[in-house]
Amino acid sequence: MRSPGFTGTLLLLLLLPTAFAFKASDFNIGSQSGFCHRGRALAARAEESPSSWHSPYSIEPPEFLIYGGGVSSDVLWNVDGKKTKAVYGPKKDMELVVDFNPLKITLYRGGEEQVVLNGRGLLHIEHFRTKEDSKPAEHIEGEAQSVLQVNPAAWFEGDSQDAFWDEIFSTWTGTKPKGPKSLSLDISFPNHAHVYGIPQHATNLSLPSTTGPTAQYIDPFRLYNADVFEYLSNSPVSLYGSIPLMHAHSATSTVAVFNALASETWIDIAHVEKGGVETHWISESGILDVFLLPGPTPSDIFTQYAHLTGTAPLPVHWSLGYHQCRWNYVSSDDMRSVQNRFDEYFPVDVFWLDIEYAEDHRYFMWNKKTFPDPVEMKKDVEAVERKVVVIIDPHLKRAGDYPVYKRASELGVLVKPKSGEGEYEGWCWPGSSSWIDFFHPGSWDFWISLFKTETINSQWSWMESTDSVGIMNDMNEPSVFNGPEITMPKDIVHYGVGNIETCIISTGCFSYVPYPLSKSANHTFQAAEARTDPPRLPFVLTRAFYAGSQRFGVMWTGDNLGTWEHMAVGIKMVLANGVGRMSFAGSDVGGFFGNPEPKMLVRWYVVGAFSPFFRAHAHIDTKRREPYLLEEPYKSLARGVLRLRYSMLPVWYTAFRKTNESGIPILRPQYVMFPEDEAGFGIDDQHYVGSSGLLVKPVTQMGVKEVSVYIAEDQVCYDYFTNHAHRPKNRHITLPANLDQIPLLIRGGSIISTRERPRRSSPLMKHDPFTLRVALDTSGNARGEVYLDDGETYGYGKGDVVWRGSGAERAKAKKGKGKGIGMVRTSSVDLAASASGAEVGTYDPKNEFARSVGDVRVKKLVVLGLGKKPSSVVLEGGREPEWEYAEEGVLVVKDPAVRVVDDWAVVVKLE
């Protein structure tokens, strides 16, 4: 949340921006950051003297230790006086070379450089010093005894003390009691022309240059969690989350680096003439802790990174439906009224309450004037299988009669000022506020206890709630209205780690424990999970995040604007977040700020429907824009988009299962799907949904009547709505894209499982039948899968699942004297039966969940691309179902009367 648009205390209003617009002056730029400026200056000195520049860092061979524990014996090591080599891989084509003097680390594949550390000699670890130590040495010259101040390292470090001991930003002066301690490192990808990742920024998926002749920006990309409302739609400015992971990609390989530093970091990118990319990472503090992910494919990189930081759990199923949010629904009656209006044939799963539900912004505490019956209100929503999400911000109103603050203060678990004594005080929505220090072990059980719906040990808890309420953690960068860069000063003190600059990116710790405490679970996630025994799948939305946050929840792209540009960049940001493993992501439909006109809003609903997280949200000053308020034809168009999303929930849930298993993102850009196709490496306005074969290109410009969709392969594609078969011309397919049309294709060779029966919410679809669309490829084959579980518990880990694979194969059947007739056999098999225990636990085909959905059937089978009318359609070993054939080559088999949980086959014979 954001700068307010309502009347509050005079002091609070004076502390906040007076207009809704991005204010660059509120945030640091590279030249204002002392350590960034020093790092860039070092790079400039190196560029000015390329022939004489060398890194002063080296290691002695005895210092280079090879740890045997856990290292494969297949790695072949060779150590001599100048370097160490490690050769590994199934083909022994991977080679890691560590040069001792100067220090340089190079990863090779097949003799070709993949990634080089310190190849440009920019590694610099600023050492601990005192102000006295930092004085240059005195040198006495000649009999005149003239005294010169000499800095022997000036050629490398520079000859000025640039923000060594304090840093001034606007009216704030940040102290640095330990002096400069930044770490910078150059990382080059000599043979990879595209780099991706380092979310979160509003920019292209393939990251542009920030330095050199092709620079698109003046400043480097910055990683520093910040509350940036109305952010620009094309900028390297840091936003709410930070993941220091970068992919580098070429047609022959993919490699990645994970620079496991959680301090503020600036990253310069230069695309060089030879086709490679040079990057320079400048961090405020930390140690050299870089992971090289060798690939060689994007899928391999995702799996390798998942091994480091974990995979996302399966989401609670209702969270994949449509979420309706607003700052704010103003009362219990308002909430009920909105729900009743959605019953006018608009599916929705979740209603949200923003900060105005809380009395004086005391989170957990209801304003009884407007919400007199919070538990009953929630139960009214839940009665029709819908859910409520309530915001819990991390700042606590400093009031003695506020039990949450009072208890936190008594426990001593609040962030401290730079003196280390007392409690840090800043300003946020409640006015004077303090923040829980999640580095403090005493805060963990306290935070979890707050979410209990019953009192334990006579301590206050959120009794006016229910066990199924979802939680939104907003403002958790943290946002501090009267702080530098709208956050905490860096010299405030956290338990056990000291100043903030030494440990974390801004903080991000208020809903997610940052890197130094990454072994601890997310406490909001834990708290929501622990409300029941056994635990149920929780829902937690966060705005701030870091590497590993995917294990605990969902994120959104923050306070966007209702403009076409923000609609377009939202797609790119969600794709980039997927590269960083925050796959469960989305941007607010309609934009948080502004009043989009109906045509834009309809287009934005399409963008949302093809994002993993699908939520409409709006600022308190905007007009109401729930979809039922739209005039015709826009209302019906929005309703159609929502119903389309719900029909595809099996596709989305199956995609989540895949990302849970392997780390591959839910939305897949071209370079992930077709890693050898160079023409697709920069495309970020269309994407695939998991491995389903669905390819969508949302319209994000005004007045568009048709779009050109890029196709990377010589393969037939089918229009999802008309079933028309398209063959790409010059690798493109032109599709109509009027307001009532969605450019959506099915890749030939795919089988799409959907549920077409309209419902008010997703839990009501549990027993609905399936439609299977079999989109034959040019060889007459297709593959697909569908994954189901109860969507509410961790039963899937015990094998309570239904996981089916569908396949279609064209073959020749013998007839008479060797003559053949064409045949397409579509079948369903049990994938869970052949899966590993790690995937589905101890599996029994007749498990509890499978029995609960045993009556669910396939109602319709649609086969695309047959080419000729069938002579017969029969169930293998059974009857001939009713069917019809259209001229477009489309066969519709009506109610084959087969169950989703069973093995079955339908045989189509072609004369």
Instruction: Give me the catalytic one of 230, 359, 474, 785.
Output: 474
For residue 351, the cross-strand partners are 324, 388
Displacement of CA 261 from its chain's centroid (Å): 19
Q: Give which of 55, 449, 35 is closest to 224, Cα–Cα.
A: 35
Instruction: Give me the catalytic one of 559, 719, 768, 800.
Output: 559
Burial of 241 (0-12, 13-18, 19+ CB in 10 A): buried
Question: Rounded to an integer, what distance in angstroms lies between the CA atom of residue 819 and that of residue 27?
Answer: 76
Angle (nearest 5°) at CA 41 between 35 and 47: 145
**Residue ranges with strand state E in 224-289:** 245-249, 254-259, 265-271, 277-283
Please report, for residues 283, 434, 506, the alpha-carbon distance to residue 503 in angstroms, rounded to integers and kept in the order given. 11, 20, 9
Angle (nearest 5°) at CA 645 between 640 and 651: 145
> What are phi and psi for residue 701, nearest 5 degrees?
-135, 155
Question: Rounded to an integer, what distance in angstroms lies between the CA atom of residue 101 and that of residue 84?
Answer: 11
Task: Give the strand order in the sheet containing 717-719.
Answer: 667-668, 687-689, 694-696, 744-747, 717-719, 725-726
Indicate the SS3 state at residue 546. coil
Instruction: Give me the catalytic one of 349, 477, 529, 785.
Output: 477
Alpha helices for 107-179 (secondary structure H):
154-157
Annotated active-site residue 632? The verdict is no
For residue 536, the cross-strand partners are 793
Pairing of the two strands 290-293 and 104-109: unpaired
User: Among positive and negative, which fits the CA dihedral 834, 839, 843, 846?
Assistant: negative
Q: One-letter amino acid identity for 155?
A: W
Annotated active-site residue 474? The verdict is yes
CA atoms within a 13 Å half-sphere pointing along the CA-CB vector of 561: 16
H/E element, 646: helix 634-647
Residue 740, Cβ neighbours under 10 Å: how many?
A: 11
Please report, for residues 114, 121, 390, 767, 795, the alpha-carbon distance to residue 50 in angstroms, rounded to integers and kept in the order given. 22, 10, 57, 69, 60
Q: Give which of 333, 338, 230 is closest to 625, Cα–Cα.
A: 338
Question: Rounded to an integer, what distance in angstroms lies between the CA atom of residue 745 and that of residue 741?
Answer: 12
Question: Rounded to an integer, what distance in angstroms lies between the CA atom of residue 181 and that of residue 177?
Answer: 11
Indicate the SS3 state at residue 860. strand
Q: Give which of 254, 261, 260, 262 is closest to 303, Cα–Cα.
A: 254
Q: Count how many residues are written for the chain.
A: 911
Please report, for residues 21, 56, 269, 569, 594, the alpha-carbon distance to residue 565 in angstroms, rounded to integers and kept in the order given. 15, 46, 24, 6, 13
Question: Which tokens go with 155?
Answer: 């050629």
Question: Rounded to an integer, what distance in angstroms lies between the CA atom of residue 808 and that of residue 740?
Answer: 32
Annotated active-site residue 477? The verdict is yes
Contact yes or no for 262/504 (Cβ under 8 A): yes
Contact yes or no for 680/671 (Cβ under 8 A): yes
Alpha helices for 415-555 (secondary structure H):
441-450, 523-529
Indicate the SS3 state at residue 240. coil
| Residue that has been written with the tokens 């299962």 in this structure | 657
For residue 186, the cross-strand partners are 280
Catalytic residue numbers read 474, 477, 559
